[in-house]
Amino acid sequence: MRAKLAGATPCVGVFSKTLDSSFVEAAGLGGLDFIILDTEHGHASLETIHHHVRAAALVGMESIVRVKGVDAHAIAAALDSGAGGVQVPNIATPEQARAAVEAARFYPLGARGVCRFVRAARHGSLEKSAYFTAANEALLVLQVEGLEGVSNIDAILDVPGFDVLFIGPYDLSQSIGKPGEVDAPEIHELIGRIAAAAAAKDKALGIFCDTPEALARYWQEGVAYIAYSVDISIFSDAIRSILKSTNSIGA
């Protein structure tokens, strides 16, 4: 995934709220680079996350677990599953960014709780030093999605140890008093400020979008990590599209 992020072509994935690992497998078979298993706004249990991570690995797709916030136990548990990375929402200060790094990395990069009898370490069969080295290569994505985070963007970017700075347009719109208006000029201006700061610090940029037009725009702008919509919503949209086509035939 690190190699893909450094390439010329953006990585594209989806957020996932499904409880069925077949949907995760199908997403990988469809050609996505990654899938974000959402435990912030989704309701999958840790057991289900383990199954989803296996399904993603089966088809060569990277799995990223979004936790609810800067919670050291939740971050470690997500990585213990063998997921390729963890995504932490609502980062507003450099202190929060440092806490996320501390929770996601083993010594000397952090202070993640140690247990090698987990799936990520092949249930204890992986040689210890190999596990700790490989674990510190897991992708760490930090989300900035509010005005406080934007105001602290340079200080957040100066925190070492994370890989992608992710923009949450919907929460940004909430923070300026225009919830859901992700195409408001103020939101585009804030996204531009964040993108410019990330580029100046040579940090990979990520963003969420939910329209083909926005996806094409961010693709052309070279955003490295693009999360497009949500798996269950994509499925629902496809059903509506099919029914709309049949209605037009009947007319």
Cβ-Cβ contacts under 8 Å for 229 (sequence gap 6 or more): 14, 15, 209, 210
Q: How many domains does one find in the chain?
A: 1
Backbone angles phi, psi at 43, to 5 degrees: -125, 25
Mean pLDDT, residues 35-64 taken together: 97
The amino acid at 64: I
Query: Could you count the other beta carbons within 10 Å of the beta carbon of residue 236?
Result: 11
Mean pLDDT, residues 219-234 taken together: 97
Task: Quickly state the pLDDT bin for 251 (edges 50, 70, 90).
Answer: low
Q: State the Cα–Cα distance between residues 193 and 30, nearest whole angstrom.
A: 33
Instruction: Write down the residue that tokens 């923070």 correspond to.
Output: 175
Q: State the Cα–Cα distance between residues 242 and 251, nearest whole angstrom.
A: 14
Q: What is the CATH number of the domain that holds 191?
A: 3.20.20.60
For residue 44, pLDDT beyond 90: yes
Task: Quickly state the pLDDT bin for 2 (edges 50, 70, 90).
Answer: confident
For residue 233, pLDDT beyond 80: yes
Four-CA torsion 7, 142, 200, 62, nearest 10 degrees? 0
Task: Quickly state the pLDDT bin for 8 (edges 50, 70, 90).
Answer: confident
> Of 210, 244, 248, 247, which is closest to residue 227 (Cα–Cα)?
210
Mean pLDDT, residues 222-227 taken together: 97
Domain that residue 29 falls in: 2-250
Task: Quickly state the pLDDT bin for 250 (edges 50, 70, 90).
Answer: low
Two tokens, residue 14: 């989806």
Task: Indicate which residue of 41, 73, 123, 188 is catalytic.
Answer: 41
High-pLDDT (> 70) share of the chain, %? 99
Task: Quickly state the pLDDT bin for 246 (edges 50, 70, 90).
Answer: confident
Where are the strands (E) in 21-176, listed by range? Answer: 34-38, 62-66, 85-88, 139-144, 164-167
Backbone angles phi, psi at 101, to 5 degrees: -60, -45
Known catalytic residue: 43? no
> Of 223, 99, 229, 212, which is closest to residue 165 (Cα–Cα)?
223
Tens of pLDDT, residues 134-182: 999 999 999 999 999 999 999 999 999 999 999 999 999 999 999 999 9
Q: State the Cα–Cα distance between residues 175 and 211, nearest whole angstrom.
A: 21
Tens of pLDDT, residues 85-111: 999 999 999 999 999 999 999 999 999
